[in-house]
Amino acid sequence: MAVATGSVAGSLVLFAVVSLAPSALFWAALRIPALCRRRPRPVPAGPPVERVAADLRRVRRVLANYPPGTPAARRIGTRRAYDALLVTACREVGVAHRLAELPEGVDRDLERLRVEESLSRRGLVLS
C-alpha cells in the first residue's frame, strides 16, 4: 500500500495545474501574438476622395454657369473655394501644386489647369 506524503488539497492543486497547463499554454500561444500585432487603423487626414471629387465637380459647374453680371466678390469667393478643394484633392491623391503660393492672375489660372489635368491623369474625374 502506498503511503500518502502530501495533503489531499496539495494533490488536487497539482492535478489542476497539470490538467489545465497545456490548454492555457496553447491558448496563450494562439492569442498573445495576435494581440501584439494589432495596431490602430490609420485615420484619414481629410474627407473621402469621392466626396472631394463630387464637391469639385459641383463648384466647377457653379463657377462655369455664373450669368453675366454676377458680382465679382461671388466669383472670387467661388474660385477660392474651388482652389481649396483642388488643394485638398492634391493632398489626398499625391499631386504637387503651387496654388497656395501663386497670386490671382494668369499664372494661377495656368497652375489650376495643370492641377486639373494631373488629377484627371490620377483618375479623379472633374467633368
* pLDDT digit string, tens, across residues 5-63: 568 888 888 888 888 888 888 888 888 777 777 777 777 677 888 999 999 999 999 99
Do residues 60 and 107 both lie within one domain?
yes
Give the model's confidence band at 86: pLDDT under 50 very low, under 70 low, under 90 confident, else very high: very high
- Long-range contacts from 69-76, C-beta under 8 angstroms, 24+ separation: 76/104
The C-alpha cell of 107 is what?
499664372
Decide if 61 is inside a domain.
yes
Looking at the structure, do residues 78 and 106 belong to the same domain, yes or no?
A: yes
Report yes or no on 22 lying in a domain.
yes
Is residue 43 situated within a structural domain? no
- pLDDT surpasses 60 at 2: no
- Of the candidates 57, 64, 125, 58, which has an alpha carbon nearest to the alpha carbon of residue 93? 125
How many independent structural domains does the chain possess? 2
Cell readout for 123 is 483618375
- Distance CA(74)–CA(12), nearest Å, equals 85
Q: Is 12 inside a domain boundary?
A: yes
Residue 3 phi/psi, 5-degree rounding, is: -95, 130
| Residue 127 included in any domain | no
- pTM strictly above 0.75: no
Q: Which domain holds residue 94?
A: 49-121
**Within this chain, do residues 106 and 64 fall inside the same structural domain, yes or no?**
yes
